[in-house]
Amino acid sequence: MSGGSNRGGQSAVPVTVYGTRWCAATQFVRRYLDRLNVPYTFRDMDHDPEAATQVRWWTGGYLSHPTVQVGGDILVEPTSNDLQTALARNRLI
Amino acid sequence: MGRTNRLEELEGRFSQLANQLQDSPEKEAISILHAMLQESRREFAAGAAPAVEGKERAFEQVANLYKSAPAMGGAAENEGLPKGGLAPDFTLLDANGDPVSLSDFRGQPIVLVFYPLDWSPACSDQLSLYESEMSEFQRLGVQVIAVSVDSLYSHGAWSVVRGLTFPLLADFYPKGEVARLYQVYRTSDGFSERALFLIDSQGVIRYKAVSPELPHIPDIYELFDQLRSLIGKKASTGN
Instruction: Give how far A51 is from chain B: nearest CA, Å.
Output: 11
Give, to the nearest 10 degrees, the angle between helix A80-89 and helix B25-46: 90
CA angle B218–B139–B88, rounded 5-degree value: 55
- Sort out which chain B residues have CB atoms less than 8 A from A13's CB and list them: 4, 8
Q: Classify residue B13 as exposed, middle or buried by CB count within 10 Å of its CB (0-12, 13-18, 19+).
A: exposed
Instruction: Give how far A9 is from chain B: nearest CA, Å.
Output: 19
Q: Which residues contact B231 (CB under 8 A, 6 or more apart)?
A: B109, B140, B141
Q: How many Å apart are CA B215 and CA B158, to the nearest integer? A: 19
Q: A78, A66 in Cβ contact below 8 A?
A: yes
Q: What are phi and psi of A92, to 5 degrees?
A: -100, -15
Strand order in the sheet with A67-70: A2-3, A40-44, A15-19, A67-70, A73-76
Residue whose C-alpha is closest to residue B196's, from B119, B112, B94: B112
- By residue range, what is the domain housing residue B58? 3-63
Residues B38, A58: C-beta atoms closer than 8 Å: yes
Instruction: Give how far A60 is from chain B: nearest CA, Å.
Output: 4
Residues B7, A89: C-beta atoms closer than 8 Å: no
* B223 and B133 housed in the same domain: yes
Q: Any alpha helices (H) in chain B, and if so which ranges?
A: 3-16, 25-46, 54-63, 65-68, 121-132, 134-139, 152-162, 177-181, 220-237
Residue B68 included in any domain: no
B216 and chain A: CB distance < 8 Å anywhere? yes
* B178 and B117 housed in the same domain: yes
- Sort out which chain A residues have CB atoms less than 8 A from B35's CB and list them: 58-60, 62, 76
- Sort out which chain B residues have CB atoms less than 8 A from A60's CB and list them: 28, 31-32, 34-36
* B201 and B104 housed in the same domain: yes
Structurally, chain B folds into a number of domains equal to 2
Which of B217, B223, B224, B225 has the most A C-beta neighbours within 10 Å, making it the best mutation to test the interface with A?
B217
Residues A60, B10: C-beta atoms closer than 8 Å: no
Helix (H, G, I), strand (E, B) or coil at B160: helix
Which pLDDT tens digits describe chain B residue by residue (239 residues)?
Answer: 666 678 888 888 888 888 888 888 889 899 999 998 888 887 887 776 666 677 788 888 888 888 888 888 999 999 999 999 999 999 999 999 999 999 999 999 999 999 999 998 877 789 999 999 999 999 999 999 999 999 999 999 999 999 999 999 999 999 999 999 999 999 999 999 999 999 999 999 999 999 999 999 999 999 999 999 998 855 443 33
Q: In this predicted complex, what is the ipTM? A: 0.85
Residue whose C-alpha is closest to residue A75's, from A36, A5, A23, A19: A19
For residue B144, the domain's CATH number is 3.40.30.10
* B40 and B102 housed in the same domain: no
Instruction: Give how far A76 is from chain B: nearest CA, Å.
Output: 8
* B14 and B115 housed in the same domain: no
CA angle B191–B209–A76, rounded 5-degree value: 85
Reported as a single tens digit per residue, the pLDDT across A37-48 is 999 999 999 999
Tell me the catalytic residues of B: 123
* B35 and B136 housed in the same domain: no
pLDDT of residue B171: 98
Last-in-domain residue among B16, B48, B63:
B63
A44 and chain B: CB distance < 8 Å anywhere? no
Helix (H, G, I), strand (E, B) or coil at B170: strand
Q: How many Å apart are CA B12 and CA B5, to the nearest integer? A: 10
| Alpha-carbon torsion angle A78, B124, B184, B224, nearest 10 | -50
Q: How many Å apart are CA A55 and CA B34, to the nearest integer? A: 11
Chain A residue with CA closest to B224: the answer is: A31
A49 and chain B: CB distance < 8 Å anywhere? no
Residue B185 included in any domain: yes
